[in-house]
Amino acid sequence: MPASKQRLQPRNRKRPLKSRDTFADRLETAAKAKEAQLARARAKDPAKDPEFAARQEARAAAAYARQEREAERQITKLAEREKESAERDARKAAEIALEAERAGRVTRQQAENLVAQKAARDARYAARKARKK
């Protein structure tokens, strides 16, 4: 068939409109089509499908397993955070103890230096007194 004649033919019309179709006829046809579509949908109702319940149970089981895994992950995460927090606190306590020890050592060193300076000053004072006599 030539391409020019092909274009003149109606495309993909299921039912060509008749010139004598009235508005009421079209409404009736639409209602019948809607009813047929509803009948097909009812026939495919998943509640009537015997495998539907099995699929629903499998989905529920998978969802439950997924929730269990998520809960386990959350528990593991919390335990890891607690462990890291405890380790961090232990390191901080050790650092504070080390700093206190250093501070004590410095204070002791300063006290010893003061005692040595006082002893040297007293020795100079005693030597000066001895020279004057």
Residue 13 counted as domain residue: no
Residues of the chain under the 50 pLDDT cut: none
Residue 10 counted as domain residue: no
Residue 60 confidence (pLDDT): 95
Cα 123 from Cα 33, distance rounded (Å): 123
SS (H, E, C) 66-82: HHHHHHHHHHHHHHHHH
Q: Which residues contact 46 (CB under 8 A, 6 or more apart)?
A: 52
* pTM score, whole prediction: 0.45
Residue 3 counted as domain residue: no
Token pair, residue 86, equals 């405890």
Residue 50 confidence (pLDDT): 75
Residue 13 confidence (pLDDT): 55
- The terminus-to-terminus CA distance of the chain in angstroms comes to 147
Residue 77 counted as domain residue: yes
Residue 52 confidence (pLDDT): 83
Cα 68 from Cα 64, distance rounded (Å): 6
- What is the span of the domain harbouring residue 99? 24-132
Residue 43 confidence (pLDDT): 80
